[in-house]
Amino acid sequence: MHTPEENKTIVINGEKVPPGKNKLVRIEIARLPTGTLIDIPIHVFNAKKAGPTVLLQAGLHGDEINGVETLRRMLQQDRFKIKKGAVIVVPILNIFGFIHFSRDVPDGKDVNRSFPGRKTGSLASRIAFNYTSMVMPQVDLAIDLHTGGGQRSNFPQVRYTADDENSKALAAAFGAPIYFASRLIAGSFRKTMSKLNKPTIVYEAGESMRFDDQAIERGIAGIQNVLSKLGMLPKAKKMPKSNHLESTKWVRSSRAGMFIPEIHNGSKITKGQVLGMITDVYSKKTRQVKAPFDGVVFCINHQAVVNQGDALFHVGR
Ligand SMILES: [Zn+2]
């Protein structure tokens, strides 16, 4: 019998995980052309005592593997011995993208632009639909793990939804080096969660298809900080202060050429400081890329050949 002090039973795709039990459940998504079934493994940790249900997910973009490794390490190290509530861990949401080393599903659609999805839609839309209907209803809040897209490398950072004080508090509790508000993108997981009033933060760290140990370890620490803050894990050890950015801006390339960054990600910058060089491929024309204001660099594009207007540095103050 369910008593007020006892946590709810988590039900995903008809599979029940009662309080006090842990279980690996799977939701079936689709088959490969060869007939192999693709399903999403979901680890459920359900404590006896009532508390919030936290969703931890990675690989919504299949090539953003730092998050996948973050959750894998946490599972391997048995870090979900929670005192109350439940944790739902999805190490790879977009399995199709993961096995193709791709952000998207095979038809080129982005699952994180396909929420809440449709039952009879495209593959990305079906993945989103299954997830929205089977996983989201069980969840109170979420941490979504990403990296920079393409060859952009993100200094460890947390993004929360503007005007959502609950998501801002989660972002502060995470304790990444920086955190800031970012707008909701149409079709994103976070937007659908926000409409359901379920606070969600996005941890962005490192770049696609490349492990970044600092990003992974800060991710593990951040998740533990949030679970501690919610009273689900013992008190976390003290972290360096997380800096809040009031505004952010992309510094873009004024011309095409070879791009050579000259600062480290996470560096403090002063207005007018040279951040990098754009140099002509054939002649010796070189142009400096300068800081627009005093602040910090929290993303660097590591693409060597750039076009006019390409995003080079993401800076904030
Ligand atoms: Zn992403």
The CATH architecture assigned to 245-316 reads: Beta Barrel (2.40)
**Three-state secondary structure along the chain?**
CCCCCECCCEEECCEEECCCCEEEEEEEEEECCCCCEEEEEEEEEECCEEEEEEEEEECCCCCCHHHHHHHHHHHHCCCCCCCEEEEEEECCCCHHHHHCCCCCCCCCCCHHHCCCCCCCCCHHHHHHHHHHHHCHHHCCEEEEEEEECCCEEEEEEEEEECCCHHHHHHHHHHCCCEEEEECCCCCCHHHHHHHCCCCEEEEEEEECCCCCHHHHHHHHHHHHHHHHHCCCCCCCCCCCCCEECCCEEEEECCCCEEEEECCCCCCEECCCCEEEEEECCCCCCEEEEECCCCEEEEEEECCCEECCCCEEEEEEC
The whole-number pLDDT of residue 237 equals 78
Is the pLDDT assigned to residue 160 strictly greater than 60? yes
pLDDT at 235 over 90: no
Cα 111 to ligand 1 centre (Å): 10
Return the pLDDT at 2: 56
Ligand 1 being an ion, which residues bring their Cβ within 5 A of it?
61, 64, 146
What is the 160 CA–ligand 1 centroid distance (Å)?
A: 14
Query: pLDDT tens digits, residue range 49-104?
Result: 999 999 999 999 999 999 999 999 999 999 999 999 999 999 999 999 999 999 99
Grade residue 241 by pLDDT with cuts at 50, 70 and 90.
confident
Which of 1-10, 81-90, 112-121, 161-170 has the least mean pLDDT?
1-10
Residue ranges per domain, the chain? Answer: 10-243, 245-316
10-243: CATH topology is Aminopeptidase (3.40.630)
Query: 304-314, pLDDT tens digit by residue?
Result: 999 999 999 99
Ligand 1 centre and the CA of 59: distance in Å? 8
Chain segment 211-231, per-residue pLDDT in tens: 999 999 999 999 999 999 999
41 CA from centroid of ligand 1 (Å): 19
